[in-house]
Amino acid sequence: MPQLLPAQVAQFLKRFRFTGGRLRRFRIMNRSARHSTGEIVISVREGEAKVRLRLVFDAVEEYRFQRRPGPGLVRLKEVKIGSFDGLIYFNLDAYPDDAPPGIHDFRASDAFIGARILNWEIVPRRPKPPEKS
């Protein structure tokens, strides 16, 4: 599983089109009192193809996933990725803005995660079960 480095963020955001994607899974796991990991699975577009992207966060330092009344966070409108003080932040409900995001933009979000390491992979499609005759 390749690691996403801060220098690769712009290329990663060009490769995968997050706008209009769907959140499939958001999970935080506590490995010990001081070590947490996170996993996000989302459906996005890579070129014309629809793919499932699995993001695995290691050494999670901070996160928020808050659901408010109204439309839920299933369809993604804007996704931002940023790196600050050795952490890589991933924001699922960012405000559309042309300016580069600051750390305050991530912490003000209702759905973000910040970790030391972010690995990613494209999840292969499951084969369709054979049709019953």
pLDDT in tens, 16-61: 999 889 999 999 999 888 899 999 999 999 999 999 999 999 999 9
Mean predicted lDDT score pLDDT of the chain = 88
Nearest by Cα to 80 from 103, 58, 62, 63 = 103
Calculate mean pLDDT across residues 2-17. 94
Contact in structure between 76 and 92 (CB atoms under 8 Å): yes
- What's the DSSP call for residue 47? T
Q: Identify the pLDDT of residue 53.
A: 96
Q: What is the mean pLDDT of residues 75-91?
A: 90
Q: What is the C-alpha to C-alpha distance for residues 108 and 131, in angstroms, rounded to an integer?
A: 48
- Rounded to the nearest 10°, the torsion over CA 15, 17, 13, 103 is -170
Domain locations along the chain: 6-123
Which amino acid appears at position 80 of this protein?
A: K
Q: Is the Cβ–Cβ distance between 3 and 59 less than 8 Å?
A: no
Q: Is the per-residue pLDDT at 81 higher than 70?
A: yes
The Cα 65–Cα 59 span in angstroms is 17
Classified as helix, coil or strand, 126 is: coil
**Minimum mean pLDDT among 30-34, 46-50, 79-83, 93-97: which range?**
93-97
Q: Decide if 37 contacts 58 (C-beta within 8 A).
A: yes
CB atoms within 10 A of CB 89: 24
The residues with which 62 forms a beta bridge, in sequence order, are 114
